[in-house]
Amino acid sequence: MSDSLIWYGHATIGLETSGYHVLIDPFFQDNPATDVNAATINPQYILITHGHYDHIGDCVKIAKRSNALVISNFEIINWLEKQGLTNLHAQHLGGGHQYPFGYLKLTLALHGSGLPDGSYGGNPAGFLITTNTNKKIYIAGDTGLFGDMRLIGEEGIDLAVLPIGDNFTMGPEDALRAVKLIQPKHVIPIHYNTWEVIEQNASKWAKKVEAETDAKVHVIPPGGTFNL
C-alpha cells in the first residue's frame, strides 16, 4: 500500500499510512496558505515538531474533538496536559517509539520552541518516520542546516520534507546543501510563501536541486497530494 502525503500549506502535513491519518503541525485557522477548516480534519495521531504558534495553533482544538493521540517532546506534552488533553505521548530527541502507524524517531532541529503563552517548549524536533512497509520519511521541522543531517541520511531516506523559506529556517541555498547531506530519493519543499518574508521560487529551487543531486523534487500546491 502506498503512503500519501497532503501538504495543507506552510508546515501542516497529513500523512496517510497503513490506514491511519497522521497530522503534523496543525495550523489552519490563521494560516494564510490554506482554506481548510480544522473542523473537517479527523486524525488518529497528531505530531508536533515544536511549540511555535504556526505549528501547534490548532492542536488542542483538533485533539479534543478527534481524541487523536498527540506526540511531541516532554515539555510540550506537559503543556498540552495543562490545556486539558489526556491522550498524550512524550518522546525526546534521538528516541524512537513504535506506534500502529509506524516507528517514530525525534531528530535534532536547530530552532526555538517557545509555546504561544510564553511557556518553555523544550527543544524543537524533526521526525523520522519508518512506515510499516519500511519507507523512511524525514520531516525536518523548522531548522537551520546542520552537518548531522548526514547521519539521518545514512538511514536511507525515501522522502525528505524540508523548509526552504529562509528567515526563520533554511533558505534555498542551505536546503540544497541539506539535500546533498541527506541524499533522499524524493524531496518536498515547505515553510515558504505563507508570508512575504518567506517568499521563495520553489520551481527554480527544484530545478537546481535536480541538476546538482539525484533527488526528485515535488513542488506541490497547498492542498496537493504526493504519493510515495
Which residues make up the interface to Mn ion (CB under 5 A)? 54, 142
136 binds Ni ion, rule: CB under 5 A? no
Smallest distance from Mn ion to CB 216, Å: 25
Smallest distance from Ni ion to CB 142, Å: 4
Smallest distance from Mn ion to CB 50, Å: 8
- Please give the C-alpha separations between residue 99 and each of 44, 152, 186, in angstroms, as whole numbers: 11, 20, 24
Q: Which amino acid is residue 8, in one-letter code?
A: Y
Nearer to Mn ion, 142 or 166 (CB): 142
166 binds Ni ion, rule: CB under 5 A? no
Nearer to Ni ion, 149 or 228 (CB): 149
Nearer to Ni ion, 19 or 112 (CB): 112
- Answer left, alpha or beta for residue 159, where phi above 0 means left and psi between -120 and 50 means alpha: beta
| Residue 195: exposure state from Cβ atoms within 10 A (0-12, 13-18, ≥19) | middle
25 binds Ni ion, rule: CB under 5 A? no
Q: Which amino acid is residue 163, in one-letter code?
A: P
- In the shown chain, the binding pattern of residues 177 to 216 toward Ni ion, with x for contact by CB under 5 A and - for none, equals ----------------------------------------
- Please give the C-alpha separations between residue 33 and each of 39, 105, 121, 140, in angstroms, as whole numbers: 17, 28, 25, 20
Footprint on this chain of Ni ion (rule: CB under 5 A): 52, 142
